[in-house]
Chains A and B, each alone.
Chain A
Amino acid sequence: MTTACENPFRTSRLHALEYRLAGVSWEQIMSRLAGLGYRAAVVGAHGHGKSTFLRALGPRIEELGLRTHRLFLNEERPRFDSGFLRELAERLTPSDVILLDGCEQLGWWAWRRFMRITRRAGGLIVTVHTPGRLPALYECRTSPDLLADLMRALDAESWGGDDKLIERLFDRHQGNIRDVFFALYDRMARGEVG
């Protein structure tokens, strides 16, 4: 058995991976974001890197002297408490930028309300599965090459697999790299090495 603190696919290591942009630089992303008035969407399917992109974007926004507020919704927690939103609305200024991960959880009315509540903020950047709510800043895509690159960055030589297994896992999980890493984590935890 590989313990959680030894597992090369533990979440803390995955979160430390640097986001790999495709065909664009961070300077271009920041310029585009400014052009969109800091109201934009990061688009991509499950496990394609939207949250990782948002984590990488946050500090770059803070370097501009703005404050970021990271909000998170998912299927287990699909909405905000109204008290929390009221409190947030009172605190927001043009120096605040909201990073909302999981915007697709909000229905149309909840989204309109959220937009209204956060209108005093200097920016609102959301992750969504499909374009539409805000102009797209970046589309997160995955590929077997990206997965192979991340495996190299993890330096996870002890996992005992090969490139063909990586490709098989990539196909099986339909490009959802997060699920591929979960599968590899479980493989290591079960002691299926080599």
Chain B
Amino acid sequence: MLTLRINGDAKEFSPGQVVAGVMGWELIHPPSEAFLRLVWYTQGRGDQDVNIAEEQELPANQLAVEQTFQFTLPAAPYSFAGALISLQWAIELVLNKGKDSLRIDIVVSPWTEMLKLSSVEMK
């Protein structure tokens, strides 16, 4: 079982803000490798882009782990959602080359909510 929790269950953050929380796992077999990542990724009509903004290597080869974490969010890019493409930030716990993973999506924006791009005429 994997655990990933942001303090206060907050989902919306400003650029430069610190995101802190708790993460860990309890498994039958210890993971061969484990990483906690702050990432952004795109979704939409085209191919997906994924960028690792920060990565923390975690102590692998342990059956159970629980520890706090924190990331300082970068200045950009902002989260946004449009008809053709959206950009989302997330914190993800990735074990065993992605065979076990858990992700929390967050919004990184200087405004109070995700920027929504208005629709344009599509042909």
Residues of A within 8 A of B (CB): 1-7, 10-12, 15, 182, 185-186, 189-191
Contact = CB atoms under 8 A, between A and B. Distances in A.
Contacts of A3: 81-83, 86, 116
A189 B43 contact: no
19 contacts: A1-B118, A2-B83, A3-B82, A3-B86, A4-B44, A4-B45, A4-B81, A4-B82, A4-B84, A5-B43, A5-B44, A7-B43, A10-B44, A11-B44, A11-B48, A12-B48, A185-B45, A186-B45, A189-B119
A4 B48 contact: no
B45 A5 contact: no
Contacts, number: 53
A12 B122 contact: no
Contacts of A11: 43-48
A6 B122 CA distance: 17
**Chain A interface mostly helix, strand, loop or mixed?**
loop
> Helix, strand, loop or mixed for chain B's interface?
loop
Contacts of B85: 4
B88 interface: yes
B77 to A, nearest CB: 15
Contacts of B116: 3
Given A3-B82, A190-B122, 15 more contacts: A1-B118, A2-B83, A3-B86, A4-B45, A5-B43, A5-B81, A7-B43, A7-B45, A10-B43, A11-B46, A11-B47, A11-B48, A12-B43, A189-B84, A189-B122
